[in-house]
Amino acid sequence: MELLCTDRLRLRAWTAEPGDLDRLTDLYGREEVTRWLDGPPTVPAAELVQCWAAVRALDPLHGCWAIAPLDGGPPAGTVLFKPLPDGVGEVEVGWHLHRTAGAAGTPRRQPAPSSTVASMPGSRRSAPSSGRATSRRWGSAGGWA
């Protein structure tokens, strides 16, 4: 399932394919990513993919999406869209990028497709956030479900 596509990147669902699971395990096993969260996931990568699919099934604009380069290779990271708990349509936007994504210039040169998604119907405003705060607001105990 694809949410958005630009000339260099696409936001797509994470899958249970070995390449995606390996990338998720690597990404969320890195201290430079998990220090902004409540720690590493407490469930295997395949279970994260299942939980994120369940979120998308309830609302296809929200959830966690793989940031996939169109020229191939592993996902650069995750972008997440979550409704604010006491908001009136506001959407919180967060991202977790792999160290190698910055080396390719992907996040710096690509206009943020997240701003496009945040302006879609049903989303009135986007706001950057800390992943740790997002995890707490969603009631997650480190599993990020």
| Percent over 70 (pLDDT), the chain | 70
- Spatial distance between the Cα atoms of 95 and 118, rounded to a whole number of angstroms: 13
Q: Tens digit of pLDDT for each residue in 13-48?
A: 999 999 999 999 999 999 999 988 888 888 999 999
| Percent over 90 (pLDDT), the chain | 45
Please say whether the beta carbons of 24 and 48 come within 8 A. Answer: yes
All domains of the chain in start order, with CATH: 2-137 (3.40.630.30)
Please say whether the beta carbons of 49 and 78 come within 8 A. Answer: no
Out of 10-24, 47-61, 109-123, least confident range: 109-123
